[in-house]
Structure 1
Amino acid sequence: MRAAIRKSIFGGVASFTSTNPEPAFSPSKNSNEVLVSVKSAAINPVDYKLPKFVVGSIFGLDFSGIVEEVGKDVTDFKVGDKVFGVAKGALADKAVSDATRICKKTDDLTFLEAAALPVAYVTGLQGLKVGKVTEGSSVLIIGASGGCGLAAIHLSKAMGATRIVAICSGKNSQLVKDTGATEVVDYTQESDLKKFFAENEGK
């Protein structure tokens, strides 16, 4: 099996090898899990910033693919389902995931698009839920041109926010506008940043 193997306890140095054993899977032992043939996978900062003993020897969390086997207690998925979600060791031909950490892929999403969703969008959603964003809310997104930031813009729109202020560098202003930000503040321009916070204090 091909996989991106972590070469050190810390750091992001990987070795791509093709002689790795496939993950062991037993429907009775892995009763609440599924074995997936990975079609696409994504890399997030968490993949190379956390140590090996936390995330495992194979890189990757985000993936999309096709279910090959299901545990005996799994009822929401069957062999052949197209899914995406999170699994330790997603940068490999096959991965094992808890059935509660995946969902079915819709036909309007490619495998590539689906694999880019889990970590960034769940992180963005958690932030918006903590902020209690609802219809008509105003949202300030710092680092808006990164993965989580762009996800937060999409989600803010879907949740009904009417004012979405994106803070990012000027070179990425068009990107965040095209994604749905209603205002953009260039953090590299100190005067603009100070003016924004002065005018919006307490709002």
Structure 2
Amino acid sequence: MKAVRFSRFGAPDVLELVDLPDPHPAAGQVRIAVRAAGLNTSDWKKRQGLMDQELPQTMGYEAAGIVDEIGAGVTDVAVGDRVFGFTAASGAQAEHAVLANYVPIPPSLDFATAAALPSAVETAARGLDQLGVEQGNTVLINGASGAVGAAAVQLAVARGARVIGTASAASHEFLRSLRAEPVAYGDGMPERVRALAPDGVDRALDVAGSGVLGELVELAGGPEHVITLADWAGAQRHGVRFSSGDAGRALYSLALVARLIEAGQFVVQVGRTFPLSDVAEAHRVGEAGSVRGKLVLLIE
């Protein structure tokens, strides 16, 4: 099968399509013929050598496709079913992938949109869980218009929380469509938040990593009420928890988001799609940050 791999760290041109043996599922897993695979910031960080140091590396942890082989004990899906989810290891950006965590694709979604969901939804749900967001809370989400931020907004709203989200002015209507109250980021952000919530907020989730943890701590009444998904150094400086999957992942969120989508309570934006052979260009576009919404690779 064809798969994306790199054998040295560097610019996007180190990525190559190579022939690798077809994978096969272990017990409880399924193999899919991949139709779409999501791209994430971690992909370019890995390629640059900022994360895992082993070489070579295959790419991708989230995919959507058609089940074509099932492992022992699998009874919840059958060959031919459409599913999306997380791989058992890296390698989603390929013609075939083994999924360890998966759910059926909602009937209303195409493969590209389904592939855009897993990482953003799990990351957002994990952050909200670690904050203890519940009905009646007022939650500030810093960086609310990106893939993870928009997922966090919608999941928090589904819990019955009031959501205030920071974003550029161009994204404010989008946030309103998600039932969030937008504020502009940058100088004066705390004052703008207090104009909406004079007593501050109950919880704050930092998705953007834009150096505002001090302000979020003040608005939320202490570091114990703030989680960051993106600012490791700032978390150490301000005593804020940095969210990672090491303490447990919110895998239940895959089935939850499927239900919310079918109920008309969750939407996802695919910013742009690329054929698998154009993965290097997809990395360039992703690193430039010029496209709102998830970037997705398509496999025909």
TM-score bracket for the superposition, by shorter chain length = 0.7 to 0.9
User: Could you tell me how far apart the structure 2 residues matched to 1:56 and 1:179 are?
Assistant: 41
Q: Which amino acid aligns with 2:111?
A: F
1:8 is displaced (CA, Å) by 2.1
Higher relative contact order (CA 8 A, sep 6+): 2
Residue in 1 aligned with 2:35?
39
Residue in 1 aligned with 2:120?
120
Superposition pairs for residues 10-159 of structure 1, below 5 Å? 13-17=13-17, 19-25=18-24, 30-50=26-46, 51-52=51-52, 57-87=57-87, 88-98=90-100, 101-159=101-159
1:90-117 per-residue CA deviation (whole Å, 9 max, x = no partner) reads 111111122xx11111211211111011
1:139-173 per-residue CA deviation (whole Å, 9 max, x = no partner) reads 11011111110001111121111x21001222322
Q: For residues 155 and 5 of structure 1, do their structure 2 counterparts lie closer, same or farther at Cα, with a shift above 3 Å needed?
A: same
Contact residue 7 and residue 56 of structure 2 kept, 8 A: no
Residue in 1 aligned with 2:208?
none
TM-score, scaled relative to structure 1: 0.83
Q: For residues 139 and 192 of structure 1, do their structure 2 counterparts lie closer, same or farther at Cα, with a shift above 3 Å needed?
A: closer
1:10-38 per-residue CA deviation (whole Å, 9 max, x = no partner) reads 66555342x5123332x6xx223221100
1:174 is displaced (CA, Å) by 2.1
Misfit runs of 4+, over 3 Å: 9-14, 50-56, 192-195
Q: Which runs of 5+ in 2 are unaligned?
A: 201-218, 222-300
1:176 maps to 2:175: yes
1:196 maps to 2:198: no
User: Could you tell me how far apart the structure 1 residues matched to 2:55 and 2:118 are?
Assistant: 16
Q: How many residues align?
A: 194
Q: Which runs of 5+ in 1 are unaligned?
A: none
TM-score, scaled relative to structure 2: 0.58
Q: Which amino acid aligns with 2:34?
A: V
1:187 maps to 2:185: yes
Superposition pairs for residues 161-172 of structure 1, below 5 Å? 161=161, 163-172=162-171
Contact residue 23 and residue 97 of structure 2 kept, 8 A: no
**What is the RMSD computed on CA atoms of the aligned residues?**
2.5
User: Could you tell me how far apart the structure 2 residues matched to 1:141 and 1:67 are?
Assistant: 36
